[in-house]
């Protein structure tokens, strides 16, 4: 709660403090050793051999944390996963990024990584949908596919030996994202799951939860970009995306996008894990209490969301018992 920058009155401060205390007690019962701060002792079995990993050090014969985060282990390796840190890619991650440069046979992206990610021209399907060698003409037409400041989604296929990160976009679900909002939150709030693409049918909105903390909320489209559809396309089909880009987005759709985006902002401010279910619960809560879209970012709604989450987790804990 100390990190929250909200203009709370005394009543709201007390309510929010109680909600966080309840959440903390519930999480402590579930896993009392998970979260640590700087200089906290990390419980390990000193009789068994273990390896000190990132975020740990030996102090007077005791293993302590050097960063705030969550204690994790892989075999004998014990390390602390920092919460407030840049994105650390894993194979298979879905990421959303912004194009910062169109270079020779590649696009460079900003994805909240320690360096720019790279999408090679050879790592995506061409407009004709035919698997073939890339030509000089394809390279000259790269800017007609993606240009600077475009928001694009892709997948992390593997790592390079030099530490650079190369992406791929070989499916119709990847590509340029338009008619929506790009939100940037802490990457640790987005947990890896089987599904990071969500179609919120009741709102007609696409929600993409990038593992790098880049969240996209935008108008639903059947195919994001004809460039990424692995099917032959005619000259008439190639003009469809341009016509769609010029289409007017209805006011109701823009309001839905803004309401869902504000729900993500509220959850991020409170430090809650961001997933589709919790986002929808937050949106439904805002509608149930009849709160305007811009008022969702106010102090009162943050308190309501925290209180509702505390009650929800308490009920879930009782059911498990």
Task: Round to whole Å and give the CA distance between 271 and 214.
Answer: 15
Report the alpha-carbon distance of residue 82 to residue 298 in Å, rounded: 29
DSSP code of residue 225: -
Ordered alpha helix ranges (H), 95-163: 136-140
Domain residues for the domain of 67 are 32-85
186 closest CA partner among 72, 69, 84: 84
Query: CA 131 to CA 154: how far, in whole Å?
Result: 19
Q: Looking at the domain assignment, is residue 2 inside a domain?
A: no
Q: In this predicted structure, what is the pLDDT of residue 235?
A: 36
| 48 falls within a domain | yes
Q: Is residue 112 part of a domain?
A: no
pLDDT at residue 275 in the model: 93
Q: Cite the DSSP H helix spans in 4-104.
A: 10-30
314 found inside a domain: no
CA-to-CA separations, 260 to 94, 147, 173, 254, 311, in angstroms, rounded: 20, 27, 21, 10, 22
Model pLDDT, residue 25: 82
Residue 271's closest CA among 294, 300, 305, 298? 305
* 297 inside domain: no
* 131 in any annotated domain: no
Tokens 């990457």: give the residue: 187
Cα separations in angstroms, 241 against 181, 221, 237: 19, 10, 8
Kindly report whether the global pTM for this prediction surpasses the value 0.85.
no
Cβ(172)–Cβ(189) under 8 Å?
A: no
| Of the candidates 31, 30, 80, the residue with the CA atom closest to the CA atom of residue 52 | 80
Read off the CATH number of the domain in which 60 is found: 2.40.50.100
Q: Which residues contact 103 (CB under 8 A, 6 or more apart)?
A: none
Residue 228 counted as domain residue = no
Indicate the DSSP class of residue 11: H
10-residue stretch averages of pLDDT, the chain, 321 residues long: 76 92 73 69 79 86 85 82 81 93 92 90 72 80 90 87 81 88 93 91 95 95 49 38 60 96 96 93 95 95 95 80 58
Domains of the chain: total:
1
């Amino acid at each position: 709660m100390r990190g929250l920058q909200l203009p709370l009155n005394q009543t709201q401060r007390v309510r929010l403090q109680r909600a966080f205390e309840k959440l903390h007690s519930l999480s402590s019962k579930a896993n009392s050793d998970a979260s640590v701060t700087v200089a906290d002792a990390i419980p390990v079995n000193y009789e068994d051999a273990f390896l000190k990993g990132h975020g740990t050090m030996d102090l007077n014969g005791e293993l302590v944390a050097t960063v705030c985060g969550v204690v994790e282990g892989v075999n004998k390796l014990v390390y602390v996963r920092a919460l407030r840190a840049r994105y650390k890619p894993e194979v298979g991650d879905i990421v959303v990024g912004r194009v910062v440069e169109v270079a020779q046979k590649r696009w460079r992206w900003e994805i909240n990584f320690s360096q720019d990610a790279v999408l090679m021209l050879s790592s995506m399907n061409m407009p004709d949908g035919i698997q073939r060698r890339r030509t000089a003409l394809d390279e000259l037409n790269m800017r007609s596919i993606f240009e600077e400041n475009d928001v694009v989604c892709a997948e992390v296929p593997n790592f390079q030996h030099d530490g650079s990160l190369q992406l791929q976009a070989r499916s119709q679900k990847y590509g340029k994202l338009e008619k929506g909002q790009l939100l940037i939150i802490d990457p640790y709030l987005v947990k890896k799951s089987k599904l990071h693409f969500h179609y919120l049918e009741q709102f007609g909105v696409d929600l993409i939860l990038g593992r790098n903390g880049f969240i996209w909320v935008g108008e639903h489209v059947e195919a994001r970009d004809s460039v990424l559809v692995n099917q032959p396309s005619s000259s008439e089909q190639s003009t469809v995306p341009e016509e769609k880009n010029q289409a007017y987005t209805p006011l109701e759709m823009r309001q839905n996008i803004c309401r869902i985006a504000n729900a993500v902002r509220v959850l991020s401010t409170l430090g809650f894990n961001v997933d589709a279910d919790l986002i929808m619960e937050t949106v439904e809560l805002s509608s149930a209490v009849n709160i305007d879209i811009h008022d969702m970012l106010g102090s009162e709604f943050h308190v309501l969301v925290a209180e509702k989450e505390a009650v929800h987790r308490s009920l879930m804990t009782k059911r498990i018992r």
